[in-house]
Structure 1
Amino acid sequence: METCEEALTEYRKTKIDVNRLKKQHLQDMSALAVEAEITQNGTNGAEEDTPMNDGSELSDTSGGDHSSVTKRKATKKQDMRVANAKARGAARAKQAQQKQALAEHRRLDEEVSKLERRLESIEREFRQHVGGVRAKPLGKDRFYNRIWWFDGLGCTAANNPALGQYGTGRIFIQGPSEFDLDILKRREDGVDARRLEEEGEEGVLGSSDWAAYSTVEELEEYVAWLNPKGHRELALKTALTKWWVPITAGMKKRIAELNAYLKLPDARRSSRNKGGPGHDISQQPYMQWKNRRALTHNQ
């Protein structure tokens, strides 16, 4: 337990650092996006040369002024060429700046994706170690039913869908405790009738009763029933959404394996799983153990 507590502390610190770095990258990306947009808008039409007047000024001038007019016209053209060259150079510089900003934006986007994958890994490791210290339900619904997802608690990360792993592959529902039921009945009249109406006769669980959702469709129907306006059900829905991918992946994997198992011939099925349906586990050695010392003492 001490090792788990130390690991959890390190994961919390790492998560804070990763989130801080991710936030900084996102801020830098926003600034680069604005810079690239401004640069792009500023370069529109910058490559176009300033049009020159083609009309001849010689028709309105006398022969004596021809030389000075020609000189002024040549100087004007030269000045315009220099101005256009500077404009083109500035446009190329802005385009290069925009290209650099976009490249940096893409690099930061890749870094953010890596950090998000790192956070997902931290969450899985955190869940693994927190199960070694204490097990807590994902949350409670309006009738204080406790919702459990045991995959990956206190063991290897069996909730990693990328590896095709799962533990139980189900969501378990534990009935409300006597304490919670007492609180609920004090706060609201007609709770039993309301539970019967909303949960159905088979769905009403006592404090020692358990049930399970085994398919994605059942779980989707339950999540749709939750009311996010309530604090408990909002927290529960948030937790289910957070782990939705590995939860549903485990459910699908479990069902696929069960279907494949049921399609096997009886001979192969029994040879692969000695503890399958129809097998009498009472004949196993560990089931025949007796405390002979206690038996002798009682005699």
Structure 2
Amino acid sequence: MITTSKKKAKRQNSDVDLPSDRGKDSSRKEGLEILKDDKREATKKRSKEQRKEYYEREMEKRVIRTNPLGRDRFYNRYWWFRRDGRIFFESSDSKEWGYYSSKEELDALMGSLNIKGERERELKKHLEKFFSRICAELQKRSKDMAHKIALEEAVLRRSTRVRAPPRQNPAKSFLRYVNKWKED
């Protein structure tokens, strides 16, 4: 008999909900809802960022006009023409132009910018935003230039034993023209 009464007592105890258990369940549910809301907000934020990046990539493909990256403390304007692969800077009076053609020069420029100033802070922000693409273009340009120089050197090393007569260049055929209708 003792065993049956113990079983009945266990059943009765398991059927009774304690108030502390209810509080834990409700707080767990609230915690789960908060986590779900956080996940929703994070996915919304990611999708918004992805849409913005996609929009920027598509606009970059269709760019007709380029805006400057920013200005420095001397009001020099910095430009990045996406197809050229260099950072150009224009003096404040628009009379002089220069360019940065290597990653080391770009790193030195970014290190010299003072972020306490408004213009240089914006310039540095834009440079950091496009840094990976700019570096890729700089490296691509340097490889292309090295390849071009190697090809030019290979063309210059011709054997002197094989000499072909100079060909007539059709582009300069106008130089051989003789006026036959000329009256004396």
1:266 has 2:161 as partner: no
Shift of 1:76: 1.2
| Aligned pairs for 1:2-151 within 5 A | 72-82=5-15, 105=39, 113-127=46-60, 132=64, 134-151=65-82
Aligned to 2:129: 242
| Aligned pairs for 1:196-207 within 5 A | 207=94
**Amino acid across the alignment from 1:170:** R
1:210 has 2:141 as partner: no
Shift of 1:150: 1.4
**Amino acid across the alignment from 1:147:** Y
Aligned to 1:56: none
Relative contact order higher in (CA < 8 Å, ≥ 6 apart): 1
- TM score, norm. by length of structure 1: 0.40
4+ residue runs of structure 1 moved beyond 6 angstroms? none
Q: Which runs of 5+ in 2 are unaligned?
A: 157-168, 175-184
| Aligned sequence identity (%) | 33
Q: 1:284 to 1:266 in 2, by over 3 A?
A: farther
Q: 1:230 to 1:72 in 2, by over 3 A?
A: same
Residues 185-231 of structure 1, C-alpha deviations (whole Å, 9 max, x = no match): xxxxxxxxxxxxxxxxxxxxxx4111100111111110111111101
- TM score, norm. by length of structure 2: 0.62
The separation in 2 between residues aligned to 1:108 and 1:231, in whole angstroms, is: 32
Shift of 1:113: 4.5
Aligned to 1:175: 91
Alignment: residue pair count: 149
1:230 has 2:146 as partner: no
Q: 1:142 to 1:112 in 2, by over 3 A?
A: same
Q: 1:77 to 1:136 in 2, by over 3 A?
A: closer
- The structure with the greater share of residues assigned to helix is 1
Shift of 1:82: 4.6
- What secondary structure sits across from 1:172 in the alignment? strand
Q: Which runs of 5+ in 1 are unaligned?
A: 1-66, 152-166, 178-206, 269-282, 289-299
**Amino acid across the alignment from 1:173:** F
